[in-house]
Amino acid sequence: MPSFSTIFWLGTKELRTLAKDLTMILFIIWSFGFSIYTQSTGAGETVNNAAIGIVDEDQSQLSRSIAGLFYPPYFQAVRTISAADIDRAIDEGLYTFIVVIPPGFEKDTRKGRDTEIQVNVDATASQQASLGAGYIQSMVTKEVDRYRENLEETTGLSSDLAIRRAFNPGGTQSWFRSIVSLADQLSMLVIILTGAALLREREHGTIEHLLAMPLTAFEIALAKVWANGLVIIVAFTCSLLLVVEGALDVPIAGSRGLLMLGTIIYVFAAAAIGIFLGTLARTMAQFALLMIMVIMPMMMLSGGMSPVASQPQWLQYLTWFLPSRHYVSFMQAIVSRGADFTIVWKEFATVLIMGVTFLAASLALFRRSIAVAQ
């Protein structure tokens, strides 16, 4: 029968050891503070300060109004170049986009003829190129339509496309990225702390001291889970309040208490994985390699980088066995859609069952390693 008093005092020993590890403390602060902020605001998914040139062979009012569409912060100030300089400018990487307006463009537009504008794109900047080409097409099309409407030369019924964004009306990318980054840092830190705590006992020789005491594998493992899990929960809460809601101004639509409950359950599951990897590895180098093999797939396939529904069908079946997939799912549901317990309870139960399963496997492996050591 496990002694909860023993588990408590073993856990406090873990906390004292962690408190003396300045490097790990700074790593936790960085991961849940500066790292989340920079990941949320640093890598944009919109066109930003793209270099653009224009070849205006029409020299008309319409061509000048099109040139005036492109302005900061999405594009740099438009520079006019000649048609002969297009290839050289693209080859030298001077412009990401070069818009060519052919002669007679305004005249053809006035007469209702089909018109074309050429857009040359430097696709080595793939993300900017893809998004920017869509921006330019939409902006030029709207400007031409507006020009024709002013001339009353449009025919047929006009139609407008009304787009309404659910849960993120302004399309603020940092709202989404901050939540995903918070989940990724949580997964990484929990596994690192619990696994490293177990390996530290083995490398420092203190595991033999523990084995000489009347302790069970369950007590040793659970002490490391609750102690390191407590540190991560505190760091997660501070990050949620100070960085996500504070600095990034991300609104939390659902219950914070429900989010914390789900996070505690996930921390338990992730800590069990950390114990399993820490038992499986014999050195910190092996543990680092195992982490790369485990944590990276957990982050990439959780649904944060790309929706699970967009992944191959066979891969979707495999991701069901990743607790990170279910955590990101109910985390986004609570934060963005305001989901209550009746909606997310299945994910809660799945993560809890996975945590119990991983912990049972970890304990079995841990007992086996103790038996071999003895």
The CATH code of the domain that includes 110 is: 3.40.1710.10
Q: Which of 110, 125, 151 is the last residue in one of the domains?
A: 151
Burial class (CB in 10 A: 0-12, 13-18, 19+), 309: exposed
Task: For residues 29 and 110, state if they share a domain.
Answer: no
CB 232 within 8 A of CB 190: yes
Task: For residues 191 and 310, state if they share a domain.
Answer: yes
Q: Which of 151, 177, 210 is the last residue in one of the domains?
A: 151
Per-residue pLDDT, 156:
44
How is residue 291 written in tokens? 């982490």
Burial class (CB in 10 A: 0-12, 13-18, 19+), 114: exposed
Distance, CA of 155 to CA of 3 (rounded, Å): 83
In a domain, 236, yes or no: yes
In a domain, 235, yes or no: yes
Higher pLDDT, 89 or 351: 351
Per-residue pLDDT, 138:
85
Give the N- to C-terminal CA distance of the chain in Å, as an integer: 22
Task: For residues 342 and 201, state if they share a domain.
Answer: yes
Tens digits of residue pLDDT in 289-316 = 988 888 888 888 888 877 787 788 888 8
Can you give the residue range of the structural domain that contains 68?
52-151
Per-residue pLDDT, 157:
42
Task: For residues 13 and 66, state if they share a domain.
Answer: no
Mean per-residue pLDDT, 274-295: 87
Task: For residues 138 and 215, state if they share a domain.
Answer: no
Return all residues near 55 (Cβ < 8 A) that are at least 6 apart. 80, 81, 82, 83, 86, 98, 99, 100, 101
Query: Can you give the pTM of this predicted structure?
Result: 0.75
In a domain, 328, yes or no: yes
Task: For residues 194 and 334, state if they share a domain.
Answer: yes
Task: For residues 8 and 82, state if they share a domain.
Answer: no
**Helix pair 22-32, 173-204: axis angle to 10 deg:** 160
In a domain, 163, yes or no: no
The total domain count for the chain is 2
In a domain, 265, yes or no: yes
Percent of the chain with pLDDT over 70: 88
Per-residue pLDDT, 50:
84
